[in-house]
Structure 1
Amino acid sequence: MSTPRTLEHPDVVELSLDAVLSALADPMRRRIVVQLANGCHDQACIAFELPVSRSTATHHFRVLRLAGIIEQRYQGTAILNTLRSSCLEERFPGLLAAIVGAEAPSSS
């Protein structure tokens, strides 16, 4: 029997503010984070309508995972993405809410 494929994620104590802010500096990655924050957990990569190639989208998800912003896990052939809200809140209180709030459309 084969073991399920897993992806590496940093522990909460390993989260770096520089890595998180660098990952969130890109508008496509913020778009992914906002969709995860406003939607259901465990969204497949194909659930994101990004105006980039598939390989570029894969790169964006990888950067977010390595920065500790999202968790990815295999389910069959799909990779499901979940925002690591509680980890980010524990390590950097208020940061995720500020990022998501800043990306909300203004009502002016």
Structure 2
Amino acid sequence: MIRTLLVPGLDGSPAPHWQHWWAATDPTAKIVEQHSWSEPTPEAWLTEIAAATMIHPGSVLVGHSLGAIAIARLLSSWPQINVAGALMVAPAEPSRCSRIASFGSCRVAVK
């Protein structure tokens, strides 16, 4: 049973990044793979994360950098997604990097 879905940032946060360590040491954790780690698009990334949450409902999303931004966008766009929670570490700033500018600013209302 997957309980934690890890969402890396731009370029996939390759090993020995802490998310890879987490996935390797916790059998209930899984990295959400993306079609393109180096040329991200919001539509593709959000679709992959949404699909992972549908396969593993009730999981906790753990995003780093661009992964955190993608999680925020997903949860603000699709509030019906079934997650137990989200942890966002060091969110990226899309306005500072042309490679992720398409993710734009994201405002999430806290309930």
**TM above 0.5:** no
- TM (norm. structure 1) is 0.30
Of structures 1 and 2, the larger Rg is shown by 1
Greater per-residue strand proportion: 2
- TM (norm. structure 2) is 0.29
